[in-house]
Structure 1
């Protein structure tokens, strides 16, 4: 017959410390949101579940319902955080641009994946776009993101050209991501050069 459970005094210090650390977890909510971003990148919106997120965040399943009103709330917060991070990286990428050629290179590098954003980042972005088609509430996130991107480009070109270049970036990244053979850097750069044309103020 098994004996009685050990009293708190009988547990080792490491066990008691682990339990205290588990209870005192001020970053848990943030960790769950970050885990949701990773799960969406790997499984897509359709495959994202509470259980997968809890496992990725290493938290009890009940933590998700404690911190979030539901899976839609959690996904929205994850998308918002991802968009904010991408916007910061996007703006930083153009900080050193001073000339027309530097602008063309910066946009080309962004499309070609040489600007800090990897395929996982873009996968989450397109999952957001697809989700926003079905959930109008997410369009606030996508609109804010696109507005921020255009504001960065408007430092170098007029608003109309900025909108066109922003759309070009998105479209070429999709083409490059889905291509079965590599898209030459030089070809992308020439497309960007023609799109920017003489509109650049640098």
Structure 2
């Protein structure tokens, strides 16, 4: 009779798989994020993917959900740490220039999420929830329309700053935030 090896106790395995999925998507995109590649990046047997996730899409969705929550948490923390509209303006500038999607892998993950959201309503709901959280955080200091415009500015400038071939300075972001928030509807 062959002796059975004890099962490896690995309570963080599912978490490692999700984190590895995000790393792989950041490196090679959704199209290159095979279960084999994710399992290797997580240092788990390939069967662990199917044990923990009913499908590749379930893994991807959980990974993108975690990513959106993580970025939203950083955004909310930055906005919660300011006391007035002027502090909120500085926080928005900081988020665009250094705080949100500063990591090139995060930028790729974000663009992959946007692409999925353009085609799949579940991912669209995920991005909508992300935007709603950002707008609520901005709404602590700005009226709803200004919060919506600032949210779009953060997204757009972050993408432009990451993809532009000419370096852009912080001053450009400061001027853009000032233009959008220069309204009597700003809260304090």
For residues 79 and 22 of structure 2, the distance between their equivalents in structure 1, rounded to whole angstroms, comes to 25
- Matched residue count: 186
For residues 177 and 83 of structure 1, the distance between their equivalents in structure 2, rounded to whole angstroms, comes to 18
Tell me which residue corresponds to 2:65. Answer: 80
**Structure 1, unaligned runs of 5 or more:** 1-6, 9-15
Matched, 1:200 2:171: no
The 1:62–1:119 alpha-carbon spacing in structure 2 relative to 1, beyond 3 Å, is same
What SS is found at the alignment partner of 2:22?
helix
Tell me which residue corresponds to 1:46. Answer: 31
For residues 88 and 51 of structure 1, the distance between their equivalents in structure 2, rounded to whole angstroms, comes to 30
Runs of 4+ in 1 over 3 A off after TM superposition: 114-117
Cα deviation for residue 181 of structure 1 reads: 1.5
Cα deviation for residue 117 of structure 1 reads: 4.7
The 1:115–1:134 alpha-carbon spacing in structure 2 relative to 1, beyond 3 Å, is closer
- Calculate the TM-score normalised by the size of structure 2: 0.91
Tell me which residue corresponds to 1:124. Answer: 109
Aligned-residue Cα RMSD (Å) equals 1.9
Structure of higher CA gyration radius: 1
* Contact 1:45–1:131 (8 Å) recurs in 2: no
